Amino acid sequence: AQSVAQPEDQVNVAEGNPLTVKCTYSVSGNPYLFWYVQYPNRGLQFLLKYITGDNLVKGSYGFEAEFNKSQTSFHLKKPSALVSDSALYFCAVRDRGNYGQNFVFGPGTRLSVLP
Amino acid sequence: DGGITQSPKYLFRKEGQNVTLSCEQNLNHDAMYWYRQDPGQGLRLIYYSQIVNDFQKGDIAEGYSVSREKKESFPLTVTSAQKNPTAFYLCASSHQGSGASSYEQYFGPGTRLTVT
């Protein structure tokens, strides 16, 4: 069965500092991996995905994520945080070998960027 | 939120009433999904549909029903059998084919349902 863990409920970072939001996953085959962001009372917005190829993927709003197969991780990063990055972040996984399998989301990490 | 609309944004109902949440997409996606989100929680899958006239139960389908008569539409009915219906409901869609652009889900803006 697929699963996603986001070990931190909350991440606090000062504006201008680098940020990392952690994600680890478990799938039976090779994964498709995604990051989404949610602002209050809004739907989820897609940030980036790993499908294949370069382990470092770049996405919207200056975010990037690094796929690490040996550690089964897909941590979200940004070199310089903005106050406007404060939101709820979700990691999701889909097993590429299982066509009928659905997305599995992590529990979310609340990012607070302090001015 | 582009391409997927959910209405209404806020919905209030009395306990014991059925209520239907609307979800429409113009992205030509084959698959559509309904999730429930409770305060401080992640997303839980209620139902999903990979093709018109077909749908499957997700992890928490009890007390909910859906239909998929058109590719563009996937309404969710919250029945009186759902014990704790107050929540934020999110609809999503995605391609089901192959290719790097195919797999992410696109989400609607959500409907906040309050049952008293």
Question: Rounded to whole angstroms, how far apart are CA atoms B32 and A102?
Answer: 11
pLDDT of A101 reads 58
Looking at residue A8, its pLDDT comes to: 96
User: Quick check: A105 and B104 CB within 8 A?
Assistant: no
Tell me the CATH number at A60.
2.60.40.10
Q: Around Cβ B84, how many Cβ atoms within 10 Å? A: 9
The predicted pLDDT at position A96 comes to 67
A108–B42: do the CB atoms touch at under 8 Å?
Answer: yes
Q: Is the separation of the CB atoms in A113 and A83 below 8 Å?
A: yes
For the ranges A70-74, A84-88, A93-97, B42-46, which has the lowest average pLDDT?
A93-97
Contacts of B95 in chain A (CB under 8 A): none
* Tens-level pLDDT at each residue, chain B (116 residues): 459 999 999 999 999 899 999 999 999 998 999 999 998 778 999 999 989 999 999 989 999 999 999 999 999 999 988 889 999 999 999 887 655 556 789 999 999 999 99
Which residues are CB-neighbours of A112 under 8 A, at least 6 positions away? A10, A11, A12, A13, A86
Q: Largest alpha-carbon pair distance within chain B?
A: 45
Taking the C-alpha atoms of residue B5 and residue A23, their distance in angstroms, rounded to an integer, is 29
Residue of B nearest to A50 (CA): B100
Do A41 and B110 make contact, defined as CB atoms within 8 angstroms? yes
Residue by residue, DSSP assigns chain A as --EEE---SEEEEETTS-EEE--EEE-SSPEEEEEEEE-TTS-EEEEEEE-SS-SEEE-GGG-EEEEETTTTEEEEEESS--GGG-EEEEEEEEETT-TT---EE---EEEEEE-
Q: What angle do CA A79, A85, A87 make, to 5 degrees?
A: 135
Query: Residue B2's pLDDT is what?
Result: 54
Closest residue in chain A to residue B103, using alpha carbons only: A32
CA distances B115 to B29, B37, B83, B86, B110, Å, are 31, 15, 10, 5, 16
Question: pLDDT tier at A29 (50, 70, 90 boundaries)?
Answer: confident
What's the total number of domains in chain A?
1
Q: Does B60 touch chain A (CB under 8 A)?
A: no
Range of the domain at A102: 3-114
